[in-house]
Structure 1
Amino acid sequence: MEFKFKILKQKVIIPADPDEIYNAIIDSKKHSEFTGSKATSEPKVGGKFTAWDGYIFGKHIELEKGKKIVQEWSTTEWPKGYPPSIFELKFKKVQGGTEIEMTHSKVPEEQADDYEKGWEDYYWKLLKEYFKK
């Protein structure tokens, strides 16, 4: 089987400190609050996580509080036989909040456009609203 992948890259500024954003993504209670759907997380390297009522699932590969999150990442719609993707967030303090630099690699080519839009609609937009409060 030949796998076809894409790499997604995005940058966004969220009006909050790096530690606050890191916690919102890693802490299951906070994650559930900002997305409005159930999330679970074992906040340690090798720990498993789920988001969006189990639609997204994987494990934490690298965790550096307020600086970096790297995860092995899949969904319930993942093409059969494809390996998990690698999802990486880097946080940098900037004027007005934190710049998040996202790299989502090994994304199945036929799903890349949906995930590209999904990050904006289901994460960045919701994080911005969450931290406006």
Structure 2
Amino acid sequence: MAIHQQVHLKGTPKDIYDLLLNAARFQAMTGGRSAHIAPHEGGEASLFGGDIEARIVELVPNRRIVQAWRARSWPAGIYSIVRFELEADGTGTRLSFDQHGHPKSAQADLEAGWPKMYWEPMNQALAHH
């Protein structure tokens, strides 16, 4: 099972890269639920009040973020790989997103969840940046 989404976001690739890696900005973007992010390869992240756990696998500044990512509700030891690719595009940034390795039962929730929990709040945060 895989998810592929492409979205056009306001702001530069640097804006989006920073938003995804800056705990204070991410927390504000997601309605104040606690976020802790160690923004370096190997760093751990806890998002949405601990509902999401991640470890940063690869960082290419302002271009790519790859994480081993899991929902706390998944069986222990089950991680998916998420990849955010950023590319300047006209007045904003084209974000190409891929996720694979998640439980089949989570597919529909994840497909609906990324736009609702990430892309829409990101656009709102970037519009006021």
Residue 99 of structure 2 is aligned to residue 104 of structure 1: yes
Q: Deviations over 1:35-88 (max 9, x none)?
A: 11211011110000011000000100001111000000001111x256200000
1:73, 1:47 → 2: CA distance?
12
Q: 1:27 matched to which residue of 2? A: 22
Residue 131 of structure 1 deviates from its aligned partner by 1.1
RMSD after superposition: 1.0
Residue 96 of structure 1 deviates from its aligned partner by 2.0
User: Residue 49 of structure 2 is aligned with which of 53, 67, 74?
Assistant: 53
Runs of 4+ in 1 over 2 A off after TM superposition: 80-83
Q: Deviations over 1:80-127 (max 9, x none)?
A: 256200000000000120000000011111111001100010110000
1:27, 1:81 → 2: CA distance?
27
Q: 1:67 matched to which residue of 2? A: 63
Structure 2: gaps (5+ residues): none
Contact in 2 for aligned 1:82/1:108 (Cα 8 Å): no
Q: 1:122 matched to which residue of 2? A: 117
Residue 127 of structure 2 is aligned to residue 132 of structure 1: yes
Number of residues paired by the alignment? 127
TM-score, normalised by the number of residues in structure 1: 0.92
Q: 1:40 matched to which residue of 2? A: 36
1:95, 1:53 → 2: CA distance?
35
Q: 1:3 matched to which residue of 2? A: none
Using the aligned pairs only, state the percent identity.
24
Q: 2:79 matched to which residue of 1? A: 84
Structure 1: gaps (5+ residues): 1-5
Secondary structure, aligned partner of 2:102:
strand
Secondary structure, aligned partner of 1:71:
strand
After the TM superposition, which of the residue ranges 65-74 and 29-38 deviates more from structure 2?
29-38
